[in-house]
Amino acid sequence: MYDPFELGSIVEEAVSKREKGEVWRKYYRFRGGLWYGGIATADAVGCNLKCTFCWGWKERDSYKSIGELLSPRVVAERLVDIAARKGYDKVRISGGEPTLAFEHLLKVLEHISSLMRLTFILETNGLLLGKHESYAEQLSNFPFLHVRVSIKGCTGEDFERITGAPEKYFYLQIKALENLFLAGVSAHPAVMVSFSSEEDCIRLKEKLYSIDESIGDSFEEEIVIMYPHVKEILAMRKLYPRISLKP
């Protein structure tokens, strides 16, 4: 067991640094891809969860030794350059948890808004957005932003089995959606359903409907992809998905 916020503080200290009056953050890759119909991606270093099915687990756990510290402007310019060259209308930060070094994220958003008309998709586990209501309020300043809250399982028990963190933190992911909705930020839940029963998934969807119908209607089912390393880790943890996808 570990505390995601204690882990997040340790990781954040290693992957970010204040330079010239602003926060720089480590990234290990910039790329284009076909997700969302075409999107430019910056892969950040470091996360505050240790999900068993994480495709980027090597980079996640090597946060002290990999990556390059970059300014918010450089990150924005690289994303916009990829989008312009490939004809994309969307950009994102992926790989790690983008809300670590939150000040850096806000500056990236500011720079992107001044460079090109794009949609920014923020993929997050939502823990920090659930803990800090002010984060959602600050994100509401960017109308081109959409937040994809990646919920780890359909119950607290599933969350604990998947992440190795106490189940109480599961409910902060729901709180993140509440905070975003109240702040007027476009968002939807992407729920890892592979390790949960259908009944528990239905109950979670009903819970999300109680926040707002639009959140329940936008319920995205996320299914584990059985990359070789993911399959090996799941076997070691004796976790067997109800449904899965081949790479």
Residue 100, in any domain of the structure: yes
Tokens of 199: 């009944």
Domain span at 83: 4-237
Inform me whether the pLDDT recorded for 7 exceeds 80: yes
Residue 244 lies in a domain: no
Q: pTM to 2 decimals?
A: 0.93
One-letter amino acid at 97 equals: E
The confidence score (pLDDT) of residue 20 equals 85
Q: 161: pLDDT confidence band, cut at 50, 70 and 90?
A: very high
**Spatial distance between the Cα atoms of 47 and 26, rounded to a whole number of angstroms:** 12
For 29, 69, 91, 116, the CA distances from 49, given in Å and listed in that order, are 20, 21, 23, 32
Q: Considering the domain boundaries, does residue 147 fall inside one?
A: yes
Calpha distance 115→61 (Å, rounded): 33
Q: Is residue 106 part of a domain?
A: yes
Q: Is residue 227 part of a domain?
A: yes
pLDDT band at 116 (very low <50, low <70, confident <90, very high): confident
Residue 245 belongs to a domain: no
For residue 236, how many other CB atoms are within 10 A of its CB? Answer: 9
Residue 157 belongs to a domain with what CATH number?
Answer: 3.20.20.70
> Residue 247: inside a domain, yes or no?
no
The number of distinct structural domains making up the chain is 1
Is residue 184 in some structural domain? Answer: yes
Rounded CA separation 192/244 (Å): 10
Of 242, 243, 173, 159, residue with least CA distance to 208: 173
**Does residue 121 register a pLDDT over 90?**
yes
- Helix H segments across 31-155? 57-61, 72-86, 102-115, 127-131, 133-139
What is the band of 237 on the pLDDT scale with cuts at 50, 70, 90?
Answer: confident
Q: What is the pLDDT of residue 228?
A: 87
Model confidence at 54, pLDDT cuts 50, 70, 90, reads confident
Instruction: Give residue 129's pLDDT band: very low, low, confident or very high (50, 70, 90).
Output: very high
